[in-house]
Chain A
Amino acid sequence: MFTRILIANRGEVAVRVLRACRRMGITAVVAYSEADRESRAVQLADEAICVGPADSGRSYLAAASILSAAIVSGCDAIHPGYGFLSEDDTFAEMTRAHGLTFIGPPPEVLERFASKAGTRQVLGAHGLPTIPGSDGMLRDDEHGLAEAARIGYPVLIKPSAGGGGRGMRMVRSARELQQALTVCRSEARAAFGDDSLYLEKWLDETRHVEVQVIVDRYGNGVHVGERDCSVQRRHQKLVEEAPTPALDVARRAELAELAVRAVVAAGYENLGTLEFLVDTSGDFYFIEINCRIQVEHPVTEMLSGLDLVVEQIRIAAGEPLGYTQADIGLRGHAIEFRINAEDVELDFRPQAGRVDEYLAPGGPGVRMDSHLFAGYEVPPYYDSLLGKLIIWGPDRQTAIERARVALDELVVTGLKTNVPFHRALLGDQAFLDGRFTTNALDRMGSAAFLAASAARPAS
C-alpha cells in the first residue's frame, strides 16, 4: 500500500480523497494553486505544496508541475480526482515512468478507452448495444438516404471531426436529410477541414443511466448498480439518483450485468462508469465510459456501503477486489443535489466571492460533501461546485421528503446558489413521478421551469 499520496485536485473532491487517505492511514499531500491557498483541503492536509498560479493550465493541468510536486514531497502515488488530469493517459504514463503510481486505470487502459468511437466499437463487440448508426462515413447523398431508411427517422447527422454542434443536425424525413447533408458538409469543411459525415439514430426523449463498475488487475469485476442522471441543464448534471426510476429491477440487473461483463472482457481496470441513454421503450444504448471517480459517486456509496475512493486506491496499489458480486448489496434510494454557486434568476450565471455563513443540514440519511466554511472566498477561476447534498432513504418517497427538509436547513449566504432550483424540482410532477428526461429542462427553459414552480401552491 502507498504511504504518501499527492492529491492533485481542489474543492470538494480534494477533501473527499483526503478523507479516504486519512482512513487508510496514508499521508495526504495536497497540491494547490495560488488561488486555493486558503482552501479547506490545504487546511486539512498533512502537507500542502503550491504548484502554480490560479490559471489551471499552469497548476492543476500542468502535468510536469504536478509530477514534480509529487516527487519533491516524497509521494509514491498521485490521486487526480475528477476533471483536470484524471483521464490523461500521457500524464499516467509520465507518472509511471518516474516510478510513481497513478490512481486510476493504468496508462494503456486509459489509452485504449480514450476515443469514444473506438470504445463503442470495442464494447459493442463485447455485447453492449450502441446507438444504431450508418455503416461508416457517408459516401454520397444516395448512401446517406439508404442508411437513414435502414436506421429509421429521425436521424442525427454528425461530422467525423470536431464537436460543439457544428455540422450536426437532426432530420425527420428523407427530404430534410437531402437538404441538410449539403449544409452540414460545408459547415464541417469550414469548421474542421473535413467534410465526412455519418448518421446516428436520434432518440427523442432519453434518460441518462450509468453503471458503476469496479475491476481489479486480476480480472475480477463487480458492478455497484446504476445511477440516473437525467436532470440536466445544457448537458450539465444537476441531480443524480439511484436506483433509476426508468427501469424495473430485472431490466436494471440486465443492464448492470451486461456492462460489467463487457468491461472485464475488454480488459478494463480500476473504477469506471459506463454511460447509457435509455429511450422511452426501455431500450438502452452505450455512449461512453468515464475512467475516473465521478462527482455523483456518493449516490452509489449510500446504497452499497462501499467507500469508492478507498476501493480505487486499493486497486491501484495492486490489491485484489476481495469480494464478489454476491457480496454487493444495494439498499434503499439515494439522491444527490449538486450545490453550485449560480444565480438561477440570471440564467444560472456562476458566482464568485465570500461565503458569509455556511451551515450543513443533518438528520437520518443526510450527507454533505463540501469544502465550504464561513469566510471562504470562492475563486472565480474554477467550476462553480460548492458541494453535494446526498440524501438516503429506505425508499424514493422518504428520500424526497428528507431532501426537502435538508434543503430548507442548508445555509449558504454571501453568494447565490442553485438551491431554489432543487426546491422547484422537488415540487415538479415529472420528477416526482420519475419521468424526468435529459432534455426536459432545456426544452422548457430553466426560467420557465422556475416560474412554473413559483406559481404552484406550496405543498
Chain B
Amino acid sequence: MPDERSERPPRAPLDLGSVGDEVLPALMARFEASGLGELEVRRGEWRVRLRRDGAVPAEPRSPVPAGEHRRARQAPHAAPAGAEPTPPARDLSRAMVTSPAVGYYQPIDGLDIGRSVRQGDALGHVDVLGIRHDVVAPADGVVGRVLADPGEAVEYGQDLVRLDRLAPVPG
C-alpha cells in the first residue's frame, strides 16, 4: 500500500470541515505565537492568509522582514494574544531588505549608503539556477547599511540591505 502521510507531504485536497477543524486552529495558534504580521499557507486548492490588525499588507510574495523574524525567534512561545493585547511594536525607523530565494545575490549599480529608494523598487536580484528573483524594497527609505556583497551566496530570508528613516507606515 502507498504510505502517503509519513513519507510524502499531505497534498490531498482538503474539505471545508478539515480546514475549519484542523488547519485553521493550528495555523492561528502558530501565528499568534509568532511575531509575524502576515502569514499565508497554501495546501492543495486552499489558500489561507492570516493578517494581524494594523500590520502593513505585505507584497504577495515578499519574504518576512528579517527584523521581525528575529523577534519571533527570541520569543517563540509567547503568551497568546489575549494575554498580551498589544502586538510587538514595529521599529518604524528601519526596515530590512531580505533575500527572496537561495542563490547568488547581485545588487543594482550604485546601491550605496545614502541612496533613497521607494517601496516596491527592485534593488537587485538573486540568481537561482539562472532565473532572476527580484529583491524588492519593502518600504520607502534610505540605504543605511549594505549587508551582502555582489556575487555573494545568500539564503532565503537573509538580510541584504538595511533601510533607514522610513516614512510613517500607512494605515
Question: Complex: how many Å from CA A349 to CA B20?
Answer: 13
Establish whether residues B63 and A236, one from each chain, have CB atoms under 8 Å apart when the complex forms. no
The residue of chain A having its C-beta at the shortest distance from the C-beta of B13 within the complex is A164
| Chain B at the A interface: SS class | mixed
B4 and A52 contact, CB distance less than 8 A: no
Give chain A's interface residue range (CB within 8 Å of chain B): 35 or more
Q: Which of B6, B10, B158 contacts A338 (CB 8 A)?
A: B6
Q: Report the separation of the CA atoms of residues A382 and B27 in the bound assembly, to the nearest whole angstrom.
A: 12
Q: Does B67 contact A (CB under 8 A)?
A: no
B102 touches A236 (CB 8 A): no
Q: Which of A38, A49, A61, A340 contacts B76 (CB 8 A)?
A: A38
A61 and B23 alpha carbons, distance in the complex (Å): 20
Q: Which residue of B lies closest to A438 (CB)?
A: B1
* Chain A residues positioned under 8 Å from B103 (CB to CB): 68, 72
Chain B residue at minimum C-beta to C-beta distance from A237: B3
CB-CB under 8 A from A208, the residues of chain B are 1
C-alpha gap A52/B42 in the complex (Å): 14
Nearest CB in chain B to that of A382: its residue: B9
**In the complex, are the beta carbons of A353 and B29 less than 8 A apart?**
yes
Stretch in A141-149, A373-381, A389-397, A405-413 with 4+ CB within 8 Å of B = A373-381
Point out the residues of chain B lying under 8 angstroms from A73, CB to CB.
153
Residue A360 is within 8 A (CB to CB) of chain B in the complex? no
Interface contact B7-A82, CB-CB below 8 Å: yes
Q: Least Cβ distance of A32 to chain B in Å? A: 9
A123 within 8 A of B: no
> Is B9 a contact of A64 with CB atoms below 8 Å?
no
A137 on the B face (CB < 8 A):
no
> What residues of B have a CB within 8 angstroms of the CB of A294 in the complex?
3, 7
Segment 348-398 of A: residues with Cβ below 8 Å from B: 349-350, 352-354, 377, 379-385
A53 touching B156, Cβ below 8 Å: yes
A-B contact pairs, 16 of them (CB 8 A): A37-B73, A49-B155, A50-B158, A51-B155, A53-B156, A55-B43, A56-B9, A69-B102, A84-B9, A235-B2, A353-B29, A379-B30, A380-B27, A380-B30, A381-B41, A384-B6
Of all A-B residue pairs in the complex, the 3 with the closest CB atoms, nearest first, are: A72-B153, A380-B26, A83-B8
Chain A residues at the B interface, C-beta cutoff of 8 Å: 34, 37-38, 49-57, 59-61, 64-65, 67-69, 71-73, 82-84, 98, 164, 208, 229, 232, 235-237, 275, 287-288, 292, 294-295, 338, 340, 349-350, 352-354, 377, 379-385, 438
